[in-house]
Structure 1
């Protein structure tokens, strides 16, 4: 049976300067060994294409994008999608009007900036287009990310956003992002669907991810692993930690020999 590695991207294998050489080689070796590679990320399909496929990384077997709203094959062709209620974007925009943050909205292919109140940017959304709220409210959306670099703004916006979205959407925290996705959607739910529907007969499942939005993915894995500098809550719910993804991959491959 083929062993599965489900990996987060940002802060786990994709950094400000890209994918580190040791991780790049380890991931390529993982695929050459016949194992299954799943990218489980909050990024959009377009962002995955930019930081992974266009960067010459090994083609994954599956991609779980938008924190689980979209599942694709390795070539980013959709296999399963779950869209937002169309009225939700208007309500979120009204809630955070005037706050120091960036409000994005993402269709199946592109990320759009609804409005930006901060000068700071994030590599988590590597390419975004100007967005028009009048048009986007009629567009099928799969993610509504909010980039909030100021912790005081985050502490104010997060509870209000969770209250607004209660029963209507899920809110997942990822460092200085809040990712709003459709009801029932998470990295863990996406991984469970991949394992049950698209990878029958798989072997052990390892996960590696560094943030709070990875917790549901870790719950699905047989062996949840995080990074040594991850938040304490994430470390507490994993069976171990590593300094980098290459360290975990090398360990698993040695055990398979």
Structure 2
């Protein structure tokens, strides 16, 4: 009670358990100021359910960081069905003030954003290993020496935008879109509708900030050269 009564921002970091978190949020809600923000570090639970018994649930949300939290700046802000936009914006401002880079998730969904992507990769890795096609080291190395280097600068969508050449994402989808129907993975791909294509094209166009494909590629290449120099410096400390 003493710790909560004057706090403006409360970050809960209990184990991933609905029963535990719901009970804890009920207690926090009782003693916290009515306008204090209550954020949960949950990595995938639905905020509406977590805060179902919390007093003033409009100030309650998910603030999901990434480990190691003291080094990685990313944090996902996820609203519940009763979360007020006012408190989402205040949480966004707070995280930025401590040098974090928040992403505002539009609606609550299990696993949020990054963990759903990581889960898909993890699931495929388990299939590959279970079927005897590769070892865990093989799979880690193909990521470390391939897309992992790119991912630290740009994500999957901007990477595929570059893969389309001068025409960007639209050409990439025209050329490689049919591959989504091939049975390469155990995951079902969504139908590549005109609406989805347009969202992907417009999304990557916005990400590009007006830069051409060649400009982004040059930045990426310079970055990868410098990143590999840095990586060489530290990878021996991990592997030996």
Q: TM-score with structure 2 length normalisation?
A: 0.31
Q: Which has the higher helix share?
A: 2
Compare CA radii of gyration and give the structure with the larger one: 2
Q: Which has the higher contact order (CA 8 A, sep 6+)?
A: 1
